[in-house]
Structure 1
């Protein structure tokens, strides 16, 4: 029955997407909306779209390849030459070199296609923000989330729950396959809603609050940790905007105390889900401990994540110098381990080696520093805290391994690149790109 509901919701959301992109919508935003909607639509029918179909590629994979290819044709080449993208090209080069050295050709193609998907989506959204502004772009982008958000609400109403793979607890994910990927959809939704200006859409605060509540029901703790800074900034700013200067100090102090109380209340009600986080933080030496020395109790910490990390780190530490420099190659973990690393940094160290990890750290550092140079200090604060939350998520799972995580990253990067800043030569170049299209 729920499959029929999925199809019905998918058709309704497609109609909404069509009405949005045929209105006052530039072609780059229309492409981004359609690309994101297509991914969420296909992923909803995972029993059909996940298995291999042609030459080892699934329908989902073919959809991603099609979006990446179309995006390369649509987005002007000049966008891909922006200096802000240079750190990403260093990372892509490290991935390609690692794949060539280890002859992991299929894995290399798979990973680079995902990053190409990210690149064209970020480029399209960047051009839309430069053309129609952040507010108009994000308001229209909301339509792409109609299907997954509606399906999650319906799954709650119909009791369509999934047992979380880590501990068997209940997750409401709208009939999608896995709570890790679905949590990134809701995180992206929260991020987009939170960055739409007040008064642009009706019930903005209610919609944001609903999205946070839905993320809690996804029951994926790393995603919950990711949106804590986003939610704190949103509500804090919401209260601050309504106050006179003389009222700010006392009232914001009370609000801060309320936030702290809510945080501790949530921590208490979800203490079983977060208890392992405290255990891990008090035993950080376990990360570099050889896996053969783990006790049975230690192997279960954080749903076995710490034990998994130690296996990858131990394999890297005992590798030859060539593998330590270049790694074992993209997707090489499948040949040695049954589970992926559940940590982006550990995974990149193992797959792409020292050069790959340093390249990724360079991307992370620059994406943290770039928002700080924005004239809009409120936006700068939101972006920095949001990215720090996203990095926190990468410490316990791998959102960048999924297209859903790359969609969030593309939205974030497009805003960092497209937000108003100083009128430099780079900014004038961006203007030339828009005028030419």
Structure 2
């Protein structure tokens, strides 16, 4: 029955998407909306779209390849030559070199196609924000989330729940395949809501709060940890914007205390789910412990994540110098381990070696610095804290392995690069010019 509901909601959301992109919508935003909606639509029918169909490719994979290819044709070449993208090309080169050294050609193609998907989506959002503004772009982009958000709400009402693979607790994910990927859909929805001006849509604060509750009901603790800084800065900024300068100090102090209390209450209510996090923090040396020395109890910490990390780290540290520098190649874990690393940093150091790992850390630091340096300080805080939360999430799962995680990353990157830095604005004011909106 729920499959029929999925189809009905999908058709309704498609009509809404059509009406949005045929209205006052630039072609780059129309591309971004359709690309994101298509991914969420196909993923909802995972029993059909996940199995291999043609030449080892699933319908989902073919959809991603099609989006990446269309985006390369649609996005002007000038966007891909932005100096801002240089750290990404360094990272992509490290991936390609690792794949060539290890002759992991299929894995290399698979990974680079995913990053190509990310690049064209980020480019489309960058151009749309420059063309129609951030508020209009993200206001219209919300239509792409109608299907997954509606399905999750219906799954709650109808009791369509999934037992999580690790501990059997209940997750409401709208009939999607896995809570990890679905949690990134809701995180992206929360992120987009946070970037829309408060007067642009009705009940924005209510929608944001409902979205946070929906994320909690997904019951994926790493995503909950990710959203905490985003939610905190949202509510903090919401109150700050309504205050007079003389009121800010006392009121914001109270707000901070209230947020701290709410966080404490949430921690207590989900104490069992987060107990392992505290255990890990107190025993960080476990990560570097050889897997053969793990006790049965230690193997269960954080749903076996720590044990999995130790397997990857142990294999890497015992490798020869060549593999330590270049790694074992993209997707090489599939040939040695039963499970992916559940940690982006651990996975990247194993797959791409020191070369790829350092280039990835460098580009993350670059984006985070660019966020803090935006001329729009409130926006900069939202983006920076969102990225910090995302970086924390990557410590316990691998959102960048899924297209859903890359969509969130593209939303953040497109916004950061489309907004001028404080240094740039300062130079332009000094030169007596208005803020430039050119591609540079």
Give TM-score scaled by structure 2 length: 0.97
Task: Return the alpha-carbon distance in structure 2 between the equivalents of residues 224 and 174 of structure 1.
Answer: 17
Does residue 226 in structure 1 map to residue 226 in structure 2? yes
Instruction: Kindly state the Cα deviation for residue 266 of structure 1 after the two structures are TM-superposed.
Output: 0.4
2:414 is aligned to 414
> Shift in Å at residue 167 of structure 1?
1.0
SS of the aligned residue for 2:133 comes to helix
3-state SS of 1:53 partner? strand
Separation (CA, whole Å) in 2 of partners of 1:37 and 1:429: 33
Q: Deviations over 1:57-116 (max 9, x none)?
A: 000000000000000000001100001100000000000011111111100000000000
Computed over aligned residues only, the root mean square deviation of the Cα atoms, in angstroms, reads 1.5
2:327, 2:351 within 8 Å by CA — same for their partners in 1? yes
Distance 1:24 1:227 in 2: 31
Q: Distance in 2 between matches of 1:428 and 1:329?
A: 47
How far apart in 2 are the matches of 1:428 and 1:226?
37
Instruction: Determine the structure 2 residue equivalent to 1:106.
Output: 106
Q: Distance in 1 between matches of 2:300 and 2:373?
A: 43
Runs (5+) with no aligned partner, structure 2: none
The residue that corresponds to 1:152 in the other structure is: 152
Verify the 8 A CA contact 2:82 2:439 in the aligned structure 1.
no
Report the CA distance between 1:136 and its aligned residue. Answer: 0.4
Equivalent residue, structure 1, for 2:291: 291
Question: Residues 179-194 of structure 1: matches in 2 within 5 Å?
Answer: 179-194=179-194
Please give the alpha-carbon distance, in whole angstroms, between the structure 2 residues aligned to 1:414 and 1:248: 32
Deviation (angstroms), 1:381: 1.0
Number of residue pairs matched?
Answer: 433
Q: How does 1:8-407 map to 2 (within 5 A)?
A: 8-407=8-407
SS of 1:202's partner is coil
Q: Deviations over 1:315-334 (max 9, x none)?
A: 00111111111111000000
Return the TM-score normalized by structure 1: 0.97
Distance 2:20 2:123 in 1: 20
SS at match of 1:144: helix
Following TM superposition, the consecutive aligned residue runs of length 4 or more in structure 1 with deviations greater than 3 angstroms are 427-434
Q: The residue matched to 1:342 in structure 2 has which SS?
A: coil
Matched position secondary structure for 2:167: coil
| Cα distance in structure 1, aligned partners of 2:301 and 2:434 | 52
- Give 3-state SS (helix, strand or coil) of 1:374's partner: coil
* Deviation sequence 1:5-49 (CA, Å, 0-9, x none): 000000000000000000000000000000000000000000000
The separation in 1 between residues aligned to 2:257 and 2:152, in whole angstroms, is 32
What is the rounded CA distance, in whole Å, between the counterparts of 2:114 and 2:174 in structure 1?
A: 24
In 2: Cα distance, 1:31 partner to 1:355 partner: 34
Distance 1:433 1:283 in 2: 48
- The answer on whether the counterparts of 1:79 and 1:430 sit within 8 Å (CA) in structure 2 is no
CA distance in 2, matches of 1:223, 1:342: 13
Give the whole-Å Cα distance in 2 for the aligned partners of 1:36 and 1:133.
19
Residue 246 of structure 1: how far off its partner (Å): 2.0
Q: Answer with 254-263 or 125-134: which moved more.
A: 254-263
